[in-house]
A and B are shown apart, each in its own frame.
Chain A
Amino acid sequence: MKQTLVALVENKPGVLNRVASLFRRRNFNIDSLTVGRTESPEVSRMTIVVDADAEKVQKQLYKLVNVIQVEDVTDTPNVSRDLALIKVQVNNETRGQVTQLCDIFRAHIVDAGPDTVIVEVTGNEDKITSMTELLRPIGILEMVRTGVVTMTRGDEVLAPPEFYFATNGNRSNGFRQNVL
């Protein structure tokens, strides 16, 4: 069964490689992995969807020195979002159909050419899958998805520890930005 984990990791060179290498060598099957910045430039946040034992994945991730915190949010109420850009072949007849589908799915047409449109759709995985199923007969030329990002609902907060906002002199070295 698919499990969703959220991990805070240090934004240092090679950390994404360390995580990816771990999944490969421990035989954990990655369904989706997204990574991006948090409110601290020294901390990145990963949303990892795996088809593996979440507890084992979590423990193995904690063995990496650069991994700060890992939460299994599979069974926690959460907001999960995936974004897809879909380039669809259209003609005068089908252009209207695409516009209608966009209304239904609250998607947007973000580019329009003589024979193509780009649809931007955001939502959970099921919604995007449904949208693509309906667009497929019309003619999908190209598609890209960002992978899932997840945040738990309510007052629970998963934020970088204070350490990463402190500015005293004894901080660790090697925090390079934009090198993930």
Chain B
Amino acid sequence: MKLTGAEIILECLIREGVEVMFGYPGGAILPTYDAMTKYPQLRHVLVRHEQGAAHMADGYARATGKVGVAIATSGPGATNLVTGIATAMMDSSPIVCITGQVPTPAIGSDAFQETDVTGVTLPVTKHNYLVYDVEDLAYTIKEAFHIARTGRPGPVLVDVPKDVQNAVTEFEYPEDEIILPGYRPPQAAEEEQVRVALELIESAERPVILAGHGVIMSGASRELLQFAEMTQTPIALTLLGKGGVPEHHPLSLGMMGMHGTGQANLAIQNADLLLAFGMRFDDRVTGNLKTYAPNARKIHVDIDSSEIHKNVRADVPIVGDLKTVLNQLLPRMKRIEHKAWMAQIRDWMEDADERDIVNQNVSNRLLAAHVIHDMWTATNGDAIIVTDVGQHQMWEAQYYPHERPHTLLTSGGLGTMGFGMPAAIGAAMGLKQPNVWAIVGDGGFQMTITELGTAAQERVPINIAIINNGYLGMVRQWQEFFYEERYNATPMFNPDFVKLAEAYSIPARRVTTRDEVIAAVEWANSITDGPVLIDFVVEKHDIVYPMVPAGADLHNMIRRPMPSPDGI
């Protein structure tokens, strides 16, 4: 069968199981857009800005576990993808970006809308390709999906010049398995490491599991819980690890790190064994490395060998797929109790509860923590939450416990403001269910607010909750603590978000008191045929507690002051 390059791209996408792609047309990708008319089974979602397309593909991937696809034209189309690609890279999210490029004879001539896209995206992709020859196209797309989804997943970009899209060749889908001698993702742990790990696990008195994104990516939730229960080991979660184990489980300590729970951080600092499972000791998680878990031996399991010893020296380095490694450990493990250690941890938990704002009465003002807590109640704790970046993100992490994997999607590594709403669109389209909530701040929301148009046009049933405090709140918090309250460039003039939504024919409401929260969330839940928006106008001067200042020792947390009559 003779096909054009453009048709080959789409044939290959169908064979990879792609149902929806997020993109924006333009000169150099037009042949592919024209070919789409022959493939109605591939749904194309027209975004308003290519950054949105990359975030949507990312959200789709994180929610479904499948590869997300973004399409853009050359030059500005492709460079607009970069923030979204870098976001996916930092959080190991599998996406494939297909970009048009100027025709091969024009490459290097500074042609109209020409950018060296493989050069620009080289450091922010897992791998990328510039396809010179239509004969290479099918294999390259297949290879791109293989690399994106296997090993430590990540974004892959395929740049296709316009003449390659137009060129005609005999299409034969490469059925053979991909063999890349330089790419062999690890699977099982070495026997010697398993043996040493078991010895450390059996002799530990104060162990803590650090559960990261890898738990979710390798589908190891069940094995992890079994491990924790058998060894009575408490579990601290990274931000991206949330959902990896049920947070209401008695062994769950909640989130660790800069805005982690007191019990998680204190447990880590007092531990004699850290079991780091699919996490990478990010600086937001460790604080000062010199004083981090000073008495703990470390067993570090990661699929990416370059993460081992990168920030923290591991006593037992294990390179492998977490689920496979846990299944190697489990049959050989003994039941262990850590009664004294668990008693100590329960003390810390009770101490944290006293400071917990949810249990405090607050007169007449609406606190973000209360909004999130009530959202959790009104959604039965079972919504898919996609956050933006900032204070609201940390409050979500603290006050919305997640019980299942893939239910919290958030930009952790890159901390990309503007991620939330477009990623929620991608998630909702992938899951085909109406319980996806985008929790966003008023700052980040306005970075990609343009995608309201996409949500309205495609009638994507997302629920948008703006935690609106009229400030770039997290920056404001740092200014309050570390820059003597000089609030430079953080107060924000905002539009009337309700009217703005209505201009897009999106139903919207404003909420200013706590009494209205649950009813508003239920109202939003009842609208399932398109987007809906709630503007929660919250207390302007609130702080995310506890906080470990950047570079400080993990146990030196700034705690919420004990309750005052006013509550904050």
Contacts and interface: CB of A to CB of B under 8 A. Distances in A.
B413 to A, nearest CB: 15
A125 B306 CA distance: 31
B147 interface: yes
Contacts of B305: 59, 62
B306 A60 contact: yes
A154 B310 CA distance: 33
B179 A172 contact: yes
A170 B131 CA distance: 18
Interface string A47-60: 00000000110011
Contacts, number: 61
A59 B136 contact: no
B309 A18 contact: no
Contact of B304 (A10, A63, A66, A170): A63
Interface residues of B, number: 31
A65 B119 contact: no
Q: Which of B122, B180, B181, B308 is most buried by chain A, counting CB atoms within 10 A of its CB?
A: B181
Contacts of B129: 174
A14 B123 contact: no
B478 interface: no
B181 A173 contact: no
Contact of A56 (B176, B179, B310): B310
Given A14-B118, A163-B181, A173 B306 contact: no
Main secondary structure, interface of A, reads mixed
B261 to A, nearest CB: 32
B179 A173 contact: no
Interface in B326-364: none
A56 B306 contact: yes
A17 interface: yes
A25 B306 CA distance: 14
Interface string B88-128: 00000000000000000000000000000011001100110
B182 A66 contact: yes
A65 B127 contact: yes
Contact of A65 (B118, B183, B310): B183
A174 B304 CA distance: 27
Given A25-B123, A56-B310, A68 B130 contact: no
A13 interface: yes
A55 B309 contact: yes
18 contacts: A17-B119, A18-B122, A21-B122, A21-B123, A56-B310, A59-B308, A62-B306, A63-B304, A65-B180, A68-B182, A170-B176, A170-B179, A172-B143, A172-B178, A172-B179, A172-B180, A174-B140, A176-B132
Interface of A: 9-10, 13-14, 17-18, 21, 25, 55-56, 59-60, 62-68, 161, 163-164, 170, 172-174, 176
Instruction: Pick the 6 closest A-B CB pairs, nearest first.
Output: A173-B136, A59-B306, A170-B176, A173-B139, A68-B182, A65-B127
